[in-house]
Amino acid sequence: KIAAKIGPSILNADLSQLYDESQKLLDNGADYLHLDVMDGHFVPNLTFGAPVVKCLRNKVKEAFFETHMMVSRPEQWINDMADAGVDQYTFHIEPVDDVASVCRKVREAGMKVGLAIKPKTPVDVVEQYVEMADLVLIMTVEPGFGGQKFMEDMMPKVKHLRDNHPALNIEVDGGVALKTIDCCAKAGANWIVSGTGVIKATDQEAVIKQLRNSVLQ
Ligand code: DX5
Ligand code: ZN
């Protein structure tokens, strides 16, 4: 049985308290932190880059950091993010000409490789690269903002990947919360990003536990 990992997205947290919010999530049982990096070009929003991630890493020594790179030139930030202490570099393949080469550079920099696709990108576009990746991220909203509605019609992509790649880590991101977790789990997702669903919960620990249990069932 493959592992179930819950990775809260801090995008909709109080970012003036980035460290406290992150530490609270980890204390409440988060398996990793999902850090949303946006460049205002690939997506219509801006967040933060390697300098902020590095500051967070200086205070949070142990946690697994995944950066979700919603950027037009993912190859540009590989070394900065590695230097900032990122563990997994998950990038969108849509704007990339040579995916294999970016995967290689991410690995050479000492990070794990995640490959992400937007809702309109067919699953076979990413499937051809699964051998080079540690994880595939199937977006369940249009990337750019937290708090959007979960797109259930993305589940066939997850199921297709799971059926053909039993050991692959498959991540879902966007609108995933207690209401939508069962359908993600049933399709075969095992890395679960949840933003507002966890951040806004009064009992974060209970929500994280329930999300994990749903995947393990
Ligand atoms: C959206 C980001 C997500 C987002 C998830 O572009 O990639 O990680 O923060 O937040 P929720 O769970 O609220 O949709
Ligand atoms: Zn994300």
Nearest to 162 by CA among 190, 133, 132: 190
Q: State the Cα–Cα distance between residues 27 and 91, nearest whole angstrom.
A: 27
134 is catalytic: no
Kindly provide the b/e burial profile for residues 114-141, where b requires at least 16 CB atoms within 10 angstroms of the residue's own CB.
Answer: bbbbbeebebeebbebbeebbbbbbbbb
Output the pLDDT for position 160.
98
CA of 195 from ligand 1 middle (Å) equals 5
Residues with CB under 6 A from ligand 1: 9, 11-12, 34, 36, 68, 141, 143-148, 173-176, 193-197
Distance 1 CA to ligand 1 centre (A): 27
| Residue in 173, 196, 204 to alter for ligand 1 test, most ligand atoms within 8 A of Cβ | 173
What angle in degrees, to the nearest 10, is found between the helix axes of 204-216 and 18-27?
50
Instruction: State in Å: Cα 102 to ligand 1 middle.
Output: 24
Active site residue 36: yes
Q: Is the dihedral of CA 35, 190, 78, 109 positive or negative?
A: positive
In order along the chain (217 residues), what is the average pLDDT of each group of 10 residues? 94 96 98 98 98 98 97 98 99 98 98 99 98 98 98 98 98 98 98 97 98 96
CATH of 5-216 given 3.40.50.1820, 2.120.10.30, 3.40.50.300, 3.20.20.70: 3.20.20.70
pLDDT of residue 119: 98
Domain regions of the chain by residue span = 5-216
Predicted TM-score (pTM) of the model is: 0.98
Per-residue model confidence (pLDDT) at position 2: 87
Residue 1: per-residue pLDDT: 72
